[in-house]
Chain A
Amino acid sequence: MDRRAFLRTAGAGLGLVSIVAVRPAGATPERMQAAIRRVVGSAPVTPGRVKLEVPPLSENGHAVPLTVSVESPMTEADHVRAVHVFTEINPLPDVATFRFSPRSGRARVSTRVRLANTQTVVAIGELSNGSFWSDRATVVVTLAACLEGPL
């Protein structure tokens, strides 16, 4: 094999690998949907009002910075009760539930999460009027927080 043919083959191989690596982010697995249903019941979940901020690409899945905020006046009559965060292909779909009150001032929280692989993260805001709003983001993880190995 001459050099040019080798490079062509290697390039095709790399392309194939990256497609395989990105693929799992495609469909939304049922387990996450079931976890979301446990929280929202039969209520509809509308995209909007919630803002989920995660880096589009994370080198280290062990600690991915995550910020969720929900637009709300945070008054007694109209405030955000809770924000629920879910992941698609972690071993467990639940990540955290944050509970707010009008005393919180604003519905915004930041933390660091583990992501087992490249996947979609979903945040759901629960408002005082009983409505649910959502946002989602896909994070590409290069070093996954996998099941084996040391932290």
Chain B
Amino acid sequence: MARALINVPGQARRGEIIEIKTLISHVMETGHRRTEAGAPIARDIIRQFVCTYNGAEVFRADLHPAIAANPFLVFSTVATESGTLTFTWTGDNGFSVTESAAITVS
């Protein structure tokens, strides 16, 4: 199970732009490397990251092998209402991790 770290402010004022940081453990194997015996190592990457805010998509990233191992993303959203931010990473070999964070908007 991949470990994900999420940094979301717990509280915000309505209309404030908040910064979100996410980090997930993943090798992001490029598919370009070979073993010492010369056999190609199959690609194994996270292809997509989606962040939704109470069900509405606010940010999405399509990733390629050029993203470093343990993908780290910093982005922002407008604090519109109290609720839940959901983060989903999907990738090769059926990789899928979903995490969520609560936010209180006053």
On chain B, the residues within 8 Å of A95 by CB distance are 64, 66-67
Interface string of A132-151 (1 = CB under 8 A from B): 00000000000000011001
Considering only residues 95-150 of chain A, those with a C-beta below 8 Å from chain B are 95-106, 108-115, 147-148
Identify which of B57, B72, B78 contacts A112 (C-beta below 8 A). Answer: B72
CB distance A97 to B74 under 8 Å? Answer: no
Contact B66 A113 (CB under 8 A): yes
A84's closest neighbor in chain B, by CB?
A: B62
Q: Is the CB of B66 within 8 A of A94?
A: yes
Q: Are B64 and A104 touching (Cβ within 8 A)?
A: no
Q: Could you tell me which residues of chain A, from 48 to 98, have a CB within 8 Å of some CB in chain B?
A: 62-64, 67, 87, 90-92, 94-98
Answer whether residue B71 sits at the interface, using C-beta atoms and an 8 A cutoff: yes
- In the bound complex, residues from chain B placing their C-beta under 8 Å from that of A151 are 27, 69
A114 touches B76 (CB 8 A): no
Contact B77 A103 (CB under 8 A): yes
Chain B positions 18 through 61: 1 when the CB is less than 8 Å from some CB of chain A, otherwise 0: 10000000010010111000000000000000000100111111
Given contacts A103-B53, A105-B78, A110-B74, list 17 more A-B pairs with CB under 8 A: A91-B30, A92-B64, A94-B64, A96-B67, A98-B59, A98-B61, A103-B78, A104-B75, A104-B77, A105-B18, A109-B74, A109-B75, A110-B73, A111-B61, A111-B72, A115-B66, A147-B34
